C-alpha cells in the first residue's frame, strides 16, 4: 500500500515510519524542513517537503505521491501553543483532506484525542459525544477536535484514533522533559497540562503503541476508536508514580478534577486486535524507550 504520512517527524511519526516499512508499505513522509526530510529518508522512506498550512504545496505533494491512504499525525505542540495546534487541526486537516480527495484517495487514518468527551460517570467509550461546553479555553480545543474529525470523515473511510495522553521518547512526559521540569519547580516549563494531583481521571498511551495502532487501522472500518492503555486513573494516583519515574519531587495532594476528566475505554480497539504493549502507565513510565 502507498502511504502518505503527514507528520512523519513527530513523536508518533518517527515511530510509525519504520513500522509501515516493515509491514511492506511504500511510505512518503512529509516534513516542513530540510532536516526533517533528511530524517525521513534516513529511515528508508521517500520524503517530501511540504507545509500542511500551504494548501497548493500540499496538493502537489499528495498528487505526486499518489497514495492509497493518508495518515494524519499532524500536531504543532513544540512551543506548547494551543492556538497553533488548534489551527493545524482545523486548517491543516482541511488542506490534507482536500488534497487527498483531489488525488482520488478514499481512506484516511487521523490522530485525535480521547479527552474531548462530554462529562459523565466512568471512562468514555466512542458512543459518548464530544463536550458541548461553551467554557473557554476548553470550548476552542474541542471545536478544533470536532473540525478535525468531521473534516476527515468527508473521505469515504476515515478512521479517527482518539489517543490517550502520549508519553515516551520526545513527549512532554519523558525524562528530562517539561513535565519533569515542572515537577521540579521550574516556572518556565512549557506544556499543555497540569502537575496538580487532583481527582481528575486521565488515560495514557505510549507513543510506540500509538504507532502500532496507526498501522493496524489501515484495515479498520471508519469511525472513532479510543487508543488508550488499560488503566484510566486520577492524577492523584498516576502523578506520584510519574514523579518517581522521573526522579522528581512528588506533588502535594490536590483537589477535585474537572467533570470532563474521565478517561476512556479501549474495548473497541481490543475487539479489532490491537493491544497496548505497555498496558499500564504504572510500569510504562519507567520504560519510556522507543
Distance CA 97, CA 103 (A): 10
8-43 burial by CB neighbour count: b if 16+ within 10 A, else e?
bbbbbbbbbbebbeeeebebbbbbeeeebbebbeeb
- Do residues 30 and 8 touch, judged by C-beta distance below 8 A? yes
What pLDDT, on a 0 to 100 scale, did the predictor assign at position 39? 96
Q: Are strands 26-31 and 107-113 parallel, antiparallel or unpaired?
A: unpaired
Residue 236, φ and ψ in degrees, nearest 5: -60, -20
Work out the average pLDDT over 167-174. 97
Distance CA 240, CA 21 (A): 38
Work out the average pLDDT over 26-40. 97
Distance CA 150, CA 148 (A): 6
Band (pLDDT 50/70/90 cuts) for residue 289 is confident
**Residue 85 clears pLDDT 70, i.e. is over it:** yes
What pLDDT, on a 0 to 100 scale, did the predictor assign at position 290? 65
Q: How far is CA 99 from the centre of its chain?
A: 21
Residue 145, φ and ψ in degrees, nearest 5: -65, -45
Q: Are strands 165-167 and 2-6 parallel, antiparallel or unpaired?
A: unpaired
Note the pLDDT tens digit of each residue in 215-260.
999 999 999 999 999 999 999 999 999 999 999 999 998 899 999 9
State what percent of residues in the chain have pLDDT above 70.
100
What pLDDT, on a 0 to 100 scale, did the predictor assign at position 273? 97
Work out the average pLDDT over 126-139. 97
**Residue 70 clears pLDDT 70, i.e. is over it:** yes
Note the pLDDT tens digit of each residue in 49-68.
999 999 999 999 999 999 99
**Residue 78 clears pLDDT 80, i.e. is over it:** yes
- Do residues 92 and 53 touch, judged by C-beta distance below 8 A? yes
β-bridge mates for residue 5, sequence order: 29, 71
Q: Is the peptide bond before 54 cis (omega within 30 degrees of 0)?
A: no
Amino acid at each position: 500500500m502507498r502511504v502518505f504520512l503527514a507528520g512523519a517527524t513527530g513523536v508518533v511519526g518517527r515511530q510509525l515510519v519504520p513500522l509501515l516499512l516493515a509491514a511492506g508499505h511504500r511510505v512518503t513522509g512529509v516534513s516542513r524542513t530540510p532536516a526533517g526530510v533528511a530524517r525521513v529518508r534516513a529511515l528508508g522512506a521517500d520524503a517530501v517537503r511540504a507545509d500542511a498550512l500551504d494548501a497548493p504545496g500540499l496538493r502537489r505533494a499528495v498528487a505526486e505521491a499518489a497514495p492509497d491512504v493518508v495518515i494524519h499525525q499532524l500536531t504543532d505542540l513544540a512551543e506548547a501553543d494551543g492556538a497553533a495546534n488548534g489551527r493545524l487541526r482545523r486548517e491543516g486537516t482541511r488542506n490534507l483532506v482536500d488534497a487527498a480527495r483531489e488525488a482520488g484517495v478514499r481512506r484516511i487514518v487521523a490522530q485525535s484525542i480521547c479527552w474531548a468527551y462530554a462529562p459523565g460517570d466512568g471512562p468514555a467509550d466512542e458512543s459518548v459525544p464530544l463536550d458541548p461546553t461553551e467554557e473557554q479555553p476548553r470550548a476552542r480545543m474541542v471545536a478544533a477536535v470536532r473540525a478535525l474529525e468531521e473534516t476527515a470523515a468527508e473521505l469515504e473511510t476515515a478512521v479517527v484514533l482518539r489517543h490517550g495522553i502520549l508519553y515516551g521518547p520526545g513527549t512532554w512526559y519523558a525524562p528530562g522533559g517539561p513535565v519533569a521540569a515542572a515537577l521540579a519547580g521550574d516556572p518556565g516549563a512549557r506544556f499543555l497540562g497540569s502537575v496538580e494531583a487532583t481527582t481528575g481521571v486521565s488515560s495514557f498511551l505510549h507513543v510506540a503503541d500509538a504507532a502500532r495502532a496507526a498501522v493496524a487501522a489501515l484495515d479498520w472500518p471508519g469511525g472513532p476508536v479510543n487508543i488508550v492503555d488499560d488503566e484510566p486513573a486520577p492524577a492523584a494516583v498516576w502523578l506520584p508514580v510519574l514523579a518517581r519515574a522521573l526522579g522528581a519531587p512528588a506533588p502535594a495532594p490536590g483537589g477535585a478534577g474537572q467533570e470532563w476528566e474521565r478517561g476512556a475505554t479501549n474495548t473497541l480497539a481490543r475487539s479489532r486486535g490491537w493491544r497496548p504493549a505497555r498496558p499500564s502507565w504504572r510500569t510504562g513510565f519507567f520504560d519510556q524507550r522507543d
